[in-house]
Amino acid sequence: MQSITLHQLHWDHIRAELESCLPNEGCGLLAGRGRVVEEVHPVTNILQSATAFRMKPEEQVRLLFDFEKRGLDLVGIYHSHPLGPPFPSEIDRRQVGYPGVVHLICSKAGSNWTCQAFRISPSGDLAAIEVEWRE
């Protein structure tokens, strides 16, 4: 199984951002090198929906150019499922825009956030990805 490495500081940043987006889905980009996340970048969900997200194109493109300029990889995309499990929905599987990158899906149960990571192929096939945690 493949993996990504996520530091606790980045997970704290993701959770805080997703919490601020409730009751809607939050989303963003994970930048780094190889499989190691070095930066978390929230992006506006223009759908303002509890069941779907679409990143604001200008923000997304600006970040991708910035990553390239600084020699960073797009390690992954994160988004939340405020009303469901941390598993790709049918919408997620149909609308995958970056096959090959990790999709970190976060869900809230009570006051606790959890996440699972996947690769989603252009045909919607899933491969589970291990999240390696670092302090």
Residue 101, number of CB atoms within 10 A of its CB:
18
- Write the CA distances from 128 to 23, 53, 59, 78, 125, integer angstroms: 27, 21, 28, 14, 10
* Contacts (Cβ under 8 Å, ≥6 apart) of 112: none
What would the two tokens of residue 97 be?
């825009």
Active site residue 25: yes
Task: Give me the amino acid identity at 60.
Answer: Q
Q: Is the peptide bond before 23 cis (omega within 30 degrees of 0)?
A: yes
**Which residue among 17, 19, 25, 59 is the active-site one?**
25
Active-site annotation, residues: 25
